[in-house]
Amino acid sequence: MTKPDVNVNGIWMSTVGAALYERRLPVLPDVEDNTLKLADRDGVLDFGGTYGPRTMTLTFEITSSAEEFNATVANLARTFNARRGELALEFNDMPDKKWRCVYAGTLALGATGSRLIDVQLRMNDPWPTSAQTTELREYGQGLSVGEGYFYTDHSYEVTASGQSFVVNNAGSNDVGPLIRITGAFTNLSLSDGFDTLTLTGSTGVNDVIEIDCATDKQTVKKNGANAYAMSNRVFPMLLPGDTTFTVTGAAVNVRIEFIYRYKYLY
């Protein structure tokens, strides 16, 4: 059986004298319920719930020699220092998933003589993501076999109004993609059968429109400049599985790319 290990910002902890002894990682983060209690009424009104941050605790066993013990602990302090900001973790038994978290709590050694040390972490965005994005790349562009890259079919040539294509979200959670539209069109609409994104106006063959549908962004840019006014303020979300999009418009000759990281529940 492979020994458990964790990679923090590109460094496997086992290589610096800290073996992963235990991992306390909840399968799902805690739910924060939104309820309202009314006077003279039994029970509560339920307005649904949302997930809070996901917390985890990693316990390391210091495997370095007695002479190097304190240096290893100091290295752990530097690794998980809150001032480093967000940390990207990867576990060797869950390859190609990134758990992005921040240090939250106390870096605590056990009793005197113990070689176990606890690290408390918090994922502000509680969902692990794929190591690579779905952006179209070829080998030779900084990637090679075995580096976590996966071929995807998230780039589509659209040359006629009414043309459809299917986008596959292989994750297990909803995600707001960056939609990049390159080329010429007049009054383009992109519909998933429920919501329709509309871009009013015309573009040329070298123009690039980018619609960032992430819930904390929701921006529209044309050639890098703000173009929010040309949209109808609809930002499609990709559910897990296949989503069929249909493009309509005049003089359509574009490439449409969906760029995002898969998001997983666990």
What pLDDT, on a 0 to 100 scale, did the predictor assign at position 78?
Answer: 94
For 9, 97, 150, 247, the CA distances from 143, given in Å and listed in that order, are 18, 17, 10, 32
* Residue 182's CATH number: 2.60.120.860
Q: Are 92 and 202 in a shared domain?
A: no
Q: 23 with 99: CB under 8 angstroms?
A: no
Q: How many domains, in total, are found in the chain?
A: 2
Residue 134 lies in a domain: no
Residue 149 lies in a domain: no
Residue 143 lies in a domain: no
Residues contacting 67, CB < 8 A, separation 6+: none
What pLDDT, on a 0 to 100 scale, did the predictor assign at position 240?
Answer: 96
Q: 187 with 263: CB under 8 angstroms?
A: no
This prediction's pTM: 0.84
Residues paired with 88 in a beta bridge: 100
Closest CA to 169 of 193, 142, 145, 134: 134
| Domain end call among 107, 126, 145 | 126
What is the SS3 assignment for 68? helix
Number of C-beta neighbours around residue 208 at 10 A: 15
Q: Are 91 and 174 in a shared domain?
A: no
How many angstroms separate the CA atoms of 156 and 235, rounded? 19
What pLDDT, on a 0 to 100 scale, did the predictor assign at position 138?
Answer: 54
Q: Are 164 and 111 in a shared domain?
A: no
Q: Are 67 and 113 in a shared domain?
A: yes
* Amino acid, single-letter form, for residue 239: L
DSSP type of residue 16: G
Residue 42 lies in a domain: yes
Q: 163 with 188: CB under 8 angstroms?
A: no
Q: Are 233 and 122 in a shared domain?
A: no
Q: Are 109 and 175 in a shared domain?
A: no
Q: Which two tokens stand for residue 139?
A: 């080998």
Q: Are 120 and 160 in a shared domain?
A: no
* Residue 13's CATH number: 2.40.30.200
What pLDDT, on a 0 to 100 scale, did the predictor assign at position 1?
Answer: 62
DSSP type of residue 73: H
What pLDDT, on a 0 to 100 scale, did the predictor assign at position 48?
Answer: 79
- Domain span at 198: 155-259
What pLDDT, on a 0 to 100 scale, did the predictor assign at position 39?
Answer: 86
The tens place of each residue's pLDDT in the chain, 266 residues long, gives: 678 999 999 999 999 999 999 999 999 999 988 888 888 888 888 887 889 999 999 999 999 999 999 999 999 999 999 999 999 999 999 988 999 999 998 887 877 678 999 999 999 999 999 988 888 765 455 555 445 455 556 999 999 999 999 999 999 999 999 999 999 999 999 999 999 999 999 999 999 999 999 999 999 999 999 999 999 999 999 999 999 999 999 999 999 999 999 999 99
Give the pLDDT confidence of 11-46 residue by residue, as tens digits: 999 999 999 999 999 999 999 888 888 888 888 888
Q: Are 60 and 172 in a shared domain?
A: no
Q: Are 227 and 168 in a shared domain?
A: yes
Q: Are 188 and 251 in a shared domain?
A: yes
